[in-house]
Amino acid sequence: MKPAIGIPECHDAGGRIRPGRQYLYNDIAYAHAVSSAGGTSFHLPIQADPEALIERIDGLLLPGGDDFVPAGLTRDTYPHLATTDEQLAFDRALLHHALERDMPILGICYGAQLMALEHGGSLHYHVPDDVEHAIEHQLDERTGRHGVVVQAGSRLGTLTGRTEFEVNSLHHQAIAEPGETFIAVAASRDGVTEGIERQGTAFCLGVQWHPEKLDDDVNRALFRGFVAAAAEFSAN
């Protein structure tokens, strides 16, 4: 059987999609990328028993999402769209239980940032303000690209077979410190972290760009590596 990849959903609690209602949603590109890599995706809605969901999947994909709120601010005062408390608590619980099982994990954008924060790392809450001489990181979704340099010998470098390539960039928050047990393995030319890995043998990798939106050899290899790790996890 194809490995089961769980993908938690974004939470619209503020009526952005339809006033007066709460919705859970995700970009279909994640499911397409998982399917193309040989897996089957299952969306994980917010509910009371996240551990039970982790017991039924072989890999966890933490997708992109809304902003983390800087310390000292609230969702009412923060000027950007912000992740809800319900979603953040649910995603944290999923990550915790997946790590306990040494399950393969791939974090994308918000997902990578969550991995860092949950291990004592920190964020740049607004790259243009926090990083001196920062390049532009909020680029056109269809055409905007910037280069990243990947550490040779890292899991990311081994999977992609490259140490330099172009990626899309849709974020204004980014990882400042990757946290305990994680190391930074990729960065843009301004020094902003673009990839982190957990030290050890299990597949636990986060990237700042959106590989599900890039149909090229590098990003297909990333998803194939993740799904292959989930298949191995399922077999053991």
Q: Which residues are catalytic?
A: 109, 210, 212
The rounded radius of gyration (Å) of the Cα atoms in the chain is 17
In degrees, rounded to 5, the angle at the alpha carbon of residue 64 between the alpha carbons of residues 144 and 130 is 70
Could you tell me which residues are beta bridge partners of residue 61? 106
Tokens 């043998």 label which residue? Answer: 201
Residue with tokens 């607004």: 126
Burial of 2 per CB tally in 10 Å (0-12, 13-18, 19+): middle
Please name the helix (run of DSSP H) or strand (run of DSSP E) that holds residue 122, with its range, or none. Answer: strand 122-124
For strand 23-25 and strand 10-12, is the pairing parallel, antiparallel, or unpaired?
antiparallel
Assign 24 to helix, strand or coil.
strand
Burial class (CB in 10 A: 0-12, 13-18, 19+), 27: middle
SS3 content of the chain, % helix, strand, coil (to 5): 30, 25, 45
Work out the angle at residue 139's Cα, subtended by the Cα atoms of residues 153 and 115, and round it to the nearest 5 degrees: 45
